[in-house]
Amino acid sequence: MGYALAEAAARLGTETTLISGPTSLPPPAGVKLVRFETTEQLHRAVKSAVRDADCLIMAAAPADYRPVKLASAKIKKSAAAMQLSLEPTIDILKDLAAQGAKRPLVVVGFALETDRPIENARKKLKEKKLDLIVLNTVGADTGFDSDTNEVTILRPKRKPLTLPLAKKSAIAERVLDLIASML
């Protein structure tokens, strides 16, 4: 969805920065592309990009955890069991919410929930002080490696708006229409 949103925003004539992790997708024409590999790199890129932004759309799915200790070389296989210790990564949107007045005018998040999706998305909307959250539907024809998606859009104090299965480009246009009405 991030690439579809960036492409649609560029078509509208907005100055658009796409911050992207590794992918085989070609970058849309007319956008500034910033690449990242780790959640920490994404956090730095977002903090830099939002300084003068009117809107931030976080469609990325960064890692929620990282290894506590990184190996400097390949870990050789042995008969012994191994335990991996993980620590949480920074919650980029929650960190941005803590910035208060320094944040963009409109902040949009995305969520993928398998358990109580509407309830959990509403919780994220409130905790991260989002203006809008787009809840992705889990399915064979939606999400990653698909040109289509089905989403439910949640806004504070409003009824959910469900967009039926459609091309990601069409969903991106609907999301951008809602954002435009908030600016």
Question: Residues 161-175: pLDDT tens digits?
Answer: 999 989 999 999 999
Looking at every residue in the chain, the average pLDDT score rounds to 90
Domains of the chain: 2-59+84-182 (3.40.50.10300)
Question: Residues 24-48: pLDDT tens digits?
Answer: 899 999 999 999 999 999 999 999 9
Report the distance separating Cα 127 and Cα 50, nearest Å: 20
Percent of the chain with pLDDT over 70: 96
* End-to-end alpha carbon distance in the chain: 21
Nearest to 4 by CA among 182, 146, 155, 180: 146
| Residue 17, SS3 per DSSP | strand
Predicted local confidence at residue 101, as pLDDT: 64
Report the distance separating Cα 126 and Cα 122, nearest Å: 6
Report the distance separating Cα 26 and Cα 19, nearest Å: 13
Handedness of CA 18, 108, 182, 11 (dihedral sign): positive
Q: Which two tokens stand for residue 140?
A: 């064979």
